[in-house]
Amino acid sequence: WGSGEDGQLGHGDNQHLLLPKKIEAFGQRVVAVSAGLAHSLTITADSSISAWGEGETGCLGHGEDRSNQLLPKSVEAWAQ
């Protein structure tokens, strides 16, 4: 919940939320979460890392793709 201006809430839009809402995009159990001012990251039970929110500064770890991500996106460099 909170500001969704850059997609950092992970619900596929830029809406602000006043109450917690489950992110539906995960198939695995999330074991760790980190949230910055405009981005969020998770680690799932299978050790996959996903990041979403503001990608402009490269903080999402998606390489040359510096677009904002409105939904969790796998950090492919970690999977290799």
Give dist(CA 76, CA 64) in Å, integer: 12
Question: Which is more confident, 62 or 27?
Answer: 62
Q: Give the pLDDT confidence score for residue 18 in this predicted structure.
A: 97
- The conformation of residue 17, written as its DSSP 8-state character, comes to B
Q: Which of 52, 47, 49 lies closest to 65, judged by CA?
A: 52
pTM of the model: 0.90
Q: Give the pLDDT confidence score for residue 1 in this predicted structure.
A: 92
Q: Which helix (H) or strand (E) holds 72?
A: strand 69-74
pLDDT by residue (tens digit) across 16-58? 999 999 998 888 899 999 999 999 999 999 999 999 999 999 9
Give dist(CA 5, CA 1) in Å, integer: 11
Q: Give the pLDDT confidence score for residue 42 in this predicted structure.
A: 96
Give dist(CA 80, CA 12) in Å, integer: 26
